Amino acid sequence: MKKLVLVGAGGHCKVMIEAIDRAEYVIAGILDGFAELGTEVCGIPVIGSDEEAEGLLKKGITHAAISLVGNLKLRRELLYKYKKLGFQFPRIIHSAASVSGSAQLGEGAVILAGARVNAEAVIGDYATVNTGAVVEHEVNIGENSHVAPGSILLGGVSVGKDTLVGAGSIVLQMTQIGDGCTIGAGSVVTRSLKAGSTAFGNPARLKE
């Protein structure tokens, strides 16, 4: 069995712990610079901070998963740091998720409980499709993006990298969402958004 360390001891860590296939991975512990050493999250202890990462790798803990989604910039920084050290990032698919056989999942992609990824969808490296989200046919989600719980991306939608689709949002078919965008919770996106946009509401409007 492969040994894996989680990075980040917040609430999302609990969801990740329950999603990881324990028949394939042993969770060796959690790294978090703000949590007290020995604190347990769903029975998994905090064993140190980022400073211990290289030492863990030398001990044979070769896989990592970033267990935070609220700050995509910080998440990307951590991904780069751990990849540079030599960690591998497995795909994590909850047993209660549904993923089409024709879908493509990148390195480190995470699909959580109740999520549906349909025909010929592409989930980029390190992207997260969170609890109960629906990614319809031929949707393309970019690297390190987060489709929050209950969101629905209709057919042919394209989402750039480092983008947040807020909880319960709907993105209408064929809409193009650029890199680094933020879509507020409960929004209905009816038209394409340029990179760096923040939009919210029904219909979604750009934040001024």
Q: Which DSSP letter does residue 33 get?
A: S
Cα separation, 43 vs 129, in Å, equals 24
Tell me the pTM: 0.96
Provide the token pair at 150.
Answer: 């209950």
What is the rounded CA–CA span in Å between residue 63 and residue 108?
A: 10
Distance of CA 182 to the CA centre of its chain: 15
Query: Is 137 noted as a catalytic residue in this protein?
Result: yes
pLDDT per 10-residue tile (average), the chain, 208 residues: 95 96 95 93 95 94 94 95 96 97 98 98 98 98 98 98 98 98 98 97 92
User: What pLDDT is recorded for position 208?
Assistant: 72
Nearest Cα residue to 41 out of 49, 32, 33? 32
Reduced to 3 states (helix: H, G, I; strand: E, B; else coil), residue 194 is coil
Phi-psi region of 28 (alpha: psi -120 to 50; beta: other; left: phi over 0): alpha
The reported pLDDT for the residue numbered 29 is 97
Q: How far is CA 99 from CA 96, 115, 160, 194, in A?
A: 10, 8, 21, 29
Q: Which of 63, 94, 137, 146 is catalytic?
A: 137
E strand or H helix at 11: helix 11-19
| Residue 59 zone, left/alpha/beta (φ > 0; ψ -120 to 50; rest) | alpha
pLDDT at 1: 86
pLDDT digits (tens, 9 = 90+) for 130-182: 999 999 999 999 999 999 999 999 999 999 999 999 999 999 999 999 999 99
The whole-number pLDDT of residue 70 equals 87
**Nearest to 181, CA basis, from 148, 149, 135:** 148
